[in-house]
Amino acid sequence: MFNSTHSKNIYKLLFVVICLGLTVAVLCEIIFSAFSDRSYAPNETGDAGTVIVELIEESPFNTTSDDSRFVDNKTFKGKSTGTLDTYIRAYLKPVVEAYDEIQGKWILIPVSRNDIVLEITEATVGSWVGTNAGNGVVPDLSDAKFFYYTKILKTDDETTDLKVQIVDINMPEQFLNMEIRYNLHVIIEGAQVKNSLWKKIFNIEALPLGVEVST
């Protein structure tokens, strides 16, 4: 009699203790989450805020319509519309197409960037730094793969203009007798200045010589 009653009491007490323990654990988790999930707290992506950059182009703009018009020059700049101090980098993607009369449409021609001669000038000398694929600074922007704006941009700041002109294209022989059109696409990137996040965004280990360094 004693053993049976005693065993039941022990099981009931153990059940109550386990329930209380689970309840306390859940409450602790809820309280911890409430105090740690704050919008202004820094996280692994950097300081709270946003990096947003806007590409501003002068006419003529990029075109994807099936007409014979071509874009062989481009004047553009970048603008920071986010809340964080921002580095800006740009690069170009020249697109060359030929009209295939058999298919009745424009087709992309595989022309290497090395076969496209560009003339690139800046509105304000010294505002942009050009680098090659290995992040080495090149003396002439026309020979650059990437273009870094030398100053850190705050909210609503704009870069100066870069003007690009296609000078010549070394066309593959099989396309020489076909109707050709060009298009210049500009890609612009922004990266947070603090916490060295630009290293990951731009895939570089050091900023090019001439670019303003955050203090």
- Contacts for 9 with CB less than 8 Å, ≥ 6 apart: none
Task: Give the C-alpha distances (Å, rounded to integers) separating 117 from 93, 144, 208.
Answer: 12, 11, 23
pLDDT at 115 over 50: yes
Q: Is 105 inside any structural domain?
A: yes
94 and 196 inside one domain = yes
pLDDT of amino acid 211: 95
Task: With cut-offs at 50, 70 and 90, classify the pLDDT of residue 81.
Answer: very high
Task: With cut-offs at 50, 70 and 90, classify the pLDDT of residue 62.
Answer: low
103 and 1 inside one domain = no
Query: Which residues span the domain enclosing 25?
Result: 1-37
pLDDT at 40 over 60: no
- Residue 208 vs residue 111, higher pLDDT: 208
Q: Is 21 inside any structural domain?
A: yes
24 and 122 inside one domain = no
Reported pTM: 0.73
In sequence order, what DSSP letters do the residues of 91-156 get, joined into one string? EEEEEEEEEETTTTEEEE----GGGEEEEEEESSTTSEEEE-TTS-B-S-GGG-SEEEESS-B-TT
pLDDT at 117 over 80: yes
pLDDT of amino acid 212: 93
Per-residue pLDDT reduced to its tens digit, 187-206: 999 999 988 889 999 999 99
Task: With cut-offs at 50, 70 and 90, classify the pLDDT of residue 23.
Answer: very low
Task: With cut-offs at 50, 70 and 90, classify the pLDDT of residue 143.
Answer: very high
10 and 84 inside one domain = no
Task: Give the C-alpha distances (Å, rounded to integers) separating 161 from 40, 74, 122, 125, 211.
Answer: 35, 10, 6, 10, 16
18 and 58 inside one domain = no
CA–CA distance, 90 with 29 (Å, rounded to integer): 45
pLDDT at 17 over 50: no
Mean pLDDT of 109-134: 92
Mean pLDDT of 77-96: 94
pLDDT of amino acid 27: 36
